[in-house]
Amino acid sequence: MTDSPLAELSRCQPGLRLLTEPGELEHYGRDWTRRWTPDPLAIALPASVEELQEVVRWCHRQRISIVPSGGRTGLSGGAVAANRELVVSLERMNRVLHFNAVDRTLTVQPGITLHAVHEAAREHGLIYPVDFAARGSCSIGGNIATNAGGIRVIRYGNTREWIAGLKVVTGQGDLLELNRGLIKNSSGYDFRHLLVGSEGTLGIVAEATLKLAAPPLPSQVMLLALPDMDALMQVFSLFRERLQLQAFEFFTDHALKHVLQHGGQRAIDGDYPYYVVTEFDAVDEAAQDAALAAFEQALEQGWVSDGVIAQSDAQAAALWHLREGITESLASRRPYKNDVSVRISAVPEFLREMQALLTREYPQVEVVWFGHIGDGNLHINVLRPEALGEDAFIAQCEHVTKLLAATLQRHGGSISAEHGIGLVKRAYLESTRSAAEILMMRGVKQVFDPHGILNPGKMFGSN
């Protein structure tokens, strides 16, 4: 009699931790999308690079599909296991391995949370500058897999900019050591950058060497209320010209309403359609005066209706919560999400078209939008009306997404700015990438993962 695949895996790797309880399968088989019913084969939790390689080699031999798994905070279904895949959770590989003061790098295992990376950098008087609301739960491996952006991209760029080196296990179980922390390395293809944003389809991050930066200058946080959409980019241009921005984020009155209902503190009286939270360097009185002057000019121009500057760290955190608390405040509604981007110069025209499209196509539906407007990145969260069934709702949203994708295409934008393609957006990849590009992407996938075992069905549809 032949072993069942799992019994065979246990026999080959007796030390490997495997989970198979229904509750565990559900927990590790889903991400924050909550759209698919989790149905993994089992959960493997390797504790070392060697164990990870062994698992992948076994899957390669047995043609068993793998879903690499970090904090599963993804919003595109990239970490969903709904087809009897083996979830390979990196949760036990969560340590800081090495700090190099000369190189200013931190080498970490993939399962470490972003928050723990921030803490580790801070202990050495430095920062790891990529930051966003899921910091306490997301893992650095997942951040790398999606080239995560967040709230400080305007100053520091995306995750990609902060990867000095990667150890990666390919679909055959080989270990690649990519770039080894070098600043200069002009020796052919830089696979490190191919792996960043590859959503677990090319390899599994086994170790990452992160660049660190000097802490930012003292800053101030300001909340602005705006009278209309056109004012958004006017204020952004003005503030970017006058101030050293660390962040420039926007949200609508709908978003604010949900955060306030979930414990957020109202900071501006009155109702306005748009809000901006911005953080900028404020080293001395002159810098603070410049911020005030910029605010007054925006007020005079009619681009800003009201505003408040945080007077303490606690107040700054409360203002930030109005923006960062949006996703959580909507989570129980399981919104349909779009995460789109265009070049900053295309934002005003795109916004106008997008607003007209959403108003026309979602007449009875609450649509909440917000995002990293300073990076040209908008998040659209569509809330299902109670009267509409789940399937009909998804069908309607997918229809609108098709129209949105066409609008994005006309503006040279992207259907996924920072959350990845995963399962949610695979039908729209062609709106952002040409047929020739997709063919080459598939070719690359074939080289890294000849049997197509790494995260099949993600990004391309069928691998």
Contacts with ligand 2HG, residue ranges (CB under 6 A):
75, 132-133, 326-327, 337, 371, 379, 381
Taking the least distance from each CB to ligand 2HG, the nearer of 321 and 411 is: 321
**Closest to 117 in 3D by CA, of 98, 140, 97:** 140
Taking the least distance from each CB to ligand 2HG, the nearer of 96 and 365 is: 365
The distance of closest approach from Cβ of residue 75 to ligand 2HG in the complex, given in angstroms and rounded to an integer, is 6
Taking the least distance from each CB to ligand 2HG, the nearer of 259 and 441 is: 259
**Closest to 330 in 3D by CA, of 278, 375, 366:** 366
The distance of closest approach from Cβ of residue 251 to ligand 2HG in the complex, given in angstroms and rounded to an integer, is 9
Taking the least distance from each CB to ligand 2HG, the nearer of 251 and 280 is: 251
**How many angstroms separate the CA atoms of 436 and 271, rounded?**
48
Taking the least distance from each CB to ligand 2HG, the nearer of 118 and 442 is: 118
* The Cα angle at residue 159 between residues 157 and 163, in degrees rounded to 5: 115
SS3 per-residue string spanning the chain: CCCCHHHHHHHHCCCCEEECCHHHHHHHCCCCCCCCCCCCCEEEECCCHHHHHHHHHHHHHHCCCEEEECCCCCCCCCCCCCCCCEEEECCCCCCEEEEECCCCEEEECCCCEHHHHHHHHHHCCCECCCECHHHHCCEHHHHHHHCCCECCHHHHCCHHHHEEEEEEEECCCCEEEECCCCCCCCCCCCHHHHHCCCCCCCEEEEEEEEECECCCCCEEEEEEEECCHHHHHHHHHHHHHHCCEEEEEEEEHHHHHHHHHCCCCCCCCCCCCEEEEEEEECCCHHHHHHHHHHHHHHHHHCCCCEEEECCCHHHHHHHHHHHHCHHHHHHHHCCEEEEEECCHHHHHHHHHHHHHHHHHHCCCCEEEEEEEHHHCEEEEEEECCCCCCHHHHHHHHHHHHHHHHHHHHHCCCECECCCCCCCCCHHHHHHCCCHHHHHHHHHHHHHHCCCCCECCCCCCCCC
The distance of closest approach from Cβ of residue 426 to ligand 2HG in the complex, given in angstroms and rounded to an integer, is 18
Taking the least distance from each CB to ligand 2HG, the nearer of 200 and 325 is: 325
Taking the least distance from each CB to ligand 2HG, the nearer of 9 and 316 is: 316
Taking the least distance from each CB to ligand 2HG, the nearer of 128 and 132 is: 132
Taking the least distance from each CB to ligand 2HG, the nearer of 275 and 448 is: 275
- Estimate to the nearest angstrom the gap between the alpha carbon of 397 and the chain centroid: 21
Taking the least distance from each CB to ligand 2HG, the nearer of 58 and 320 is: 320
The distance of closest approach from Cβ of residue 365 to ligand 2HG in the complex, given in angstroms and rounded to an integer, is 16
The distance of closest approach from Cβ of residue 162 to ligand 2HG in the complex, given in angstroms and rounded to an integer, is 17
The distance of closest approach from Cβ of residue 150 to ligand 2HG in the complex, given in angstroms and rounded to an integer, is 7
Taking the least distance from each CB to ligand 2HG, the nearer of 143 and 198 is: 143
The distance of closest approach from Cβ of residue 297 to ligand 2HG in the complex, given in angstroms and rounded to an integer, is 28
The distance of closest approach from Cβ of residue 301 to ligand 2HG in the complex, given in angstroms and rounded to an integer, is 28
Encode burial over 355-392: b for 16+ CB neighbours within 10 A, e otherwise: eeebeebbeebbbbbbbbbbbbbbbbbbbbeeeeeeee
The distance of closest approach from Cβ of residue 248 to ligand 2HG in the complex, given in angstroms and rounded to an integer, is 13
The distance of closest approach from Cβ of residue 124 to ligand 2HG in the complex, given in angstroms and rounded to an integer, is 28
The distance of closest approach from Cβ of residue 69 to ligand 2HG in the complex, given in angstroms and rounded to an integer, is 19
